[in-house]
Amino acid sequence: MKEIQVKVIDNDLEKAMRILKKKIQNDGLFKRLKLKKSYEKPSEFKRRKQREALRRQRIAQARARKYR
């Protein structure tokens, strides 16, 4: 696991909390916690992994088209 740090500048705790929440969300921690909360059937696990792989492929293709 990587360490997530946020610096509080000028005692602006609300801004620091927003930044922290965004970093945690981008890291995928919320998603992992949600998945660990309940049991996932093996068939659902395979289906989810397939959907994630397809999503990564679509993103990679879109990036490749963008930089042509």
pLDDT tens string 3-32: 888 999 999 999 999 999 999 998 888 888
- Mark whether 5 and 15 lie in a shared domain: yes
Q: What is the pTM of this model?
A: 0.58
21 and 49 housed in the same domain: no
What length is written for the chain? 68
Query: Above 80 in pLDDT, residue 57?
Result: yes
**How sure is the predictor about 1, in pLDDT bands with cuts at 50, 70 and 90?**
low
Report the alpha-carbon distance of residue 17 to residue 25 in Å, rounded. Answer: 12
- For residues 30 and 62, membership in a common domain is answered with no
Q: Are residues 14 and 24 in the same domain?
A: yes
Decide if pLDDT at 2 tops 80: no
Give the Cα separation of 62 and 40 in Å (integer). 31
Q: Are 27 and 4 members of one domain?
A: yes
| CA separation for the pair 40, 34 (Å, rounded) | 11
**Are 48 and 58 in the same domain?**
yes
Task: Find the domain containing 26 and state its range.
Answer: 1-37
Find the range with the poorest average confidence among 7-11, 41-45, 47-51: 7-11
Kindly report the average pLDDT of the chain as a whole number.
Answer: 91
Give the CA count within 13 Å in the CB-facing half-sphere of 3.
Answer: 2
